[in-house]
């Protein structure tokens, strides 16, 4: 059974980058364009890990992380932030919301694979 990774990012190219990097490693990738879509997917699809951007329309990454952490059904899902926001305040805010890892764009696909395997293998 393939592990399912939910990728939330408003950039189609970043969704593609992550999908290309992770599907080669045998993960099933589900993509969505914002936090709102991610929140809608979570109850209907069993997700093993979430990779999220922070700057997104409708519901941003911070809200998405907080909402996952508040929901008892998926509060344990590992969350990796993938963002171009690389200053201390943004990183700390992401971690305080409940992210497990924080990757800054441009990212090395090997690093994404490493972070994912840290939680899923």
Partner 1 sequence: MDNSNSFENIFKKLGDLKDFFVYGQKLIPILHKILDFMHDTVPLLENVNRSIQDSTSKIPKAAMQINSITNANEIATTEILDIVDGMSMDIANMQTKLESLKNKLGEDEELNAVISTIEKINAGMLNITISLQVQDITSQQLSSVNHLIQSIQEKLAALLIEFKDKEISELPAAEYHFPKDSTFNADARYDKSNSSQKLADSLVEETLNKATQSEIDKLFKKL
Residues that bind partner 1 (CB under 8 A): 10-14, 16-17, 20-21, 24, 55-58, 60, 83-88, 91-92, 95-96, 101-111
Name the minimum Å distance from CB 77 to partner 1: 16
Name the minimum Å distance from CB 30 to partner 1: 17
Q: What Å distances lie between residue 100 and 10, 13, 79, CA to CA?
A: 21, 23, 5
Exposure string over 16-43, b if 16+ CB within 10 A, otherwise e = ebbbebbeeeebebbbbbbbbbbbebbe
Closer to partner 1 by Cβ: residue 2 or 46 = 2
Closer to partner 1 by Cβ: residue 72 or 87 = 87
Name the minimum Å distance from CB 27 to partner 1: 14
Name the minimum Å distance from CB 65 to partner 1: 13
The number of beta carbons lying within 10 Å of the beta carbon of residue 118 is 13
3 state SS of 107 = coil
Closer to partner 1 by Cβ: residue 21 or 68 = 21
Q: Rounded distance, CA 91 to CA 110, Å?
A: 21
């Amino acid at each position: 059974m393939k592990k399912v990774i939910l990728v939330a990012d408003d950039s189609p190219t970043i969704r593609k980058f992550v999908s290309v990097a992770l599907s080669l490693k045998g993960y099933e990738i589900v993509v969505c364009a914002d936090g709102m879509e991610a929140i809608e997917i979570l109850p209907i699809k069993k997700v093993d890990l979430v990779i999220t951007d922070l700057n997104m329309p409708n519901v941003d990454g911070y809200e998405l992380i907080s909402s996952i952490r508040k929901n008892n059904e998926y509060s344990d899902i590992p969350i990796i932030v993938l963002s171009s926001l690389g200053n201390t305040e943004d990183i700390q805010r992401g971690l305080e919301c409940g992210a497990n890892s924080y990757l800054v764009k441009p990212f090395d696909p090997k690093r994404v694979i490493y972070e994912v395997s840290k939680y899923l293998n």
